[in-house]
Amino acid sequence: MSHVANNVLDLLALARQVAANAAATAARMRTEAITDVDTKSTATDVVTAADKAVEKQILADLLTARPDDEVLGEEYGGTTVPAAAGRVRWIVDPIDGTVNYLYGLPQYAVSIAAEVDGETVAGVVHNVATGAVWTAAKGHGAWRDGRQLSGSTATELAQTLVATGFAYAAERRAHQGRVIAQLLPQVRDIRRMGSAALDLCAVAEGTIDVYFEKGLAAWDLAAGGLIASEAGLLVTGLSGRPPGPDLVLAAPAALHRLLHDVLVELDADGGP
């Protein structure tokens, strides 16, 4: 049993500090990686090296502060089920938006969440390129730079700006493409920005109206999902299911039902 109390604000403060250190490493490695690409390494290797180094640092920092906790990270795996009652599991995506990281598009982030009893209780998403930081702790709202977030006030589907993302597998992409082709004529427009964690933060602050995606992993969803729900949004799957790999829909209450019903009709959580 951990002797360190699981106060959600303490967990958030630690996540925030660890994410800031990780973001500094990711930024530094990107500069170094560009030099490497020019001279020797393949682009994919470079990104993989940064992902792994950043995750290693995050896990080391978390476990130094709280040695009895469990961890799950994208690169090194870990505890794939929630920790025992009352224990903390950290869920980490060292760089969410790896393709943007590779290309130098300023939409990639460190994402760190703390989960207790199967529920995310603290989360931070730190945009490495811009320095913007979004945070949430269970019951304490969602915040960016001292500003509390509450999502979009849009109410009509036709005026809804929708963010989404696509999986890496070709067959799944084909299905996702069919869904988008039918959704696009019904909404204001579609955005594919390349980081699920930052998409969830964008919907939390209302810079997009809704977000949905099929195929998210726990580390894509954990921190950003809490930030969106603490901003007052509904974060769900389809047809009463919880958000997860089949589908994540994050939307203000006024838009949720509208988008939900269209996504059900289009079988957005189906296909490969």
* Cβ-based nearer residue to Ca ion, 13 or 20: 20
CB of 76 to Ca ion, least distance (A): 12
- Binding to ligand IPD (CB under 6 A): which residues in 36-95? 93
Of the candidate spans 27-35, 55-63, 209-217, 254-262, the one that interacts with ligand IPD by CB under 6 A turns out to be 209-217
Q: Which of 70, 96, 199, 209 binds Ca ion (CB under 5 A)?
A: 96
**At its nearest, how many Å lie between ligand IPD and the CB of residue 109?**
9
- Helical ranges in the chain per DSSP H: 8-39, 43-65, 98-103, 170-183, 196-205, 218-230, 253-265
Q: Select from 55, 70, 97, 218 the one that contacts ligand IPD (CB under 6 A).
A: 97
Write b or e for each residue in 32-59: b if 16 or more Cβ atoms lie within 10 A of its Cβ, otherwise e: ebeeeeeeeeeeeebbeebbbbbbbbbb
CA-closest candidate to residue 197, choices 47, 66, 74: 74
Residue closer to ligand IPD by CB (options 213, 230) is 213
Distance of CA 263 to the CA centre of its chain: 21
Is 111 one of the binding residues for ligand IPD (CB under 6 A)? no
Among 220, 228, 258, 263, binds ligand IPD (CB under 6 A): 220
**Sheet containing 234-236, strands listed edge to edge, beginning at the edge strand earlier in sequence:** 189-191, 161-164, 210-213, 248-251, 234-236
- How far is CA 227 from its chain centroid? 9
176 binds ligand IPD (CB under 6 A): no
Q: Does 166 bind ligand IPD (CB under 6 A)?
A: yes
Rule CB under 5 A: is residue 75 a binding residue for Ca ion?
Answer: no
Q: How far is 55 from 59, CA to CA, in rounded Å?
A: 6
Q: Does 55 bind Ca ion (CB under 5 A)?
A: no
Q: Does the protein bind ligand IPD through residue 243 (CB under 6 A)? A: no
Tell me the three state secondary structure of residue 88. strand
By the rule CB under 5 A, 61 interacts with Ca ion: no
Q: Nearest approach, Cβ of 205 to ligand IPD (angstroms)?
A: 17
Q: Give CA–CA dist 137/124, Å, rounded.
A: 9
Q: Which residues bind ligand IPD (CB under 6 A)?
A: 93, 96-98, 165-167, 194-196, 213, 215-216, 220
Residues that bind Ca ion (CB under 5 A): 74, 93, 95-96, 220
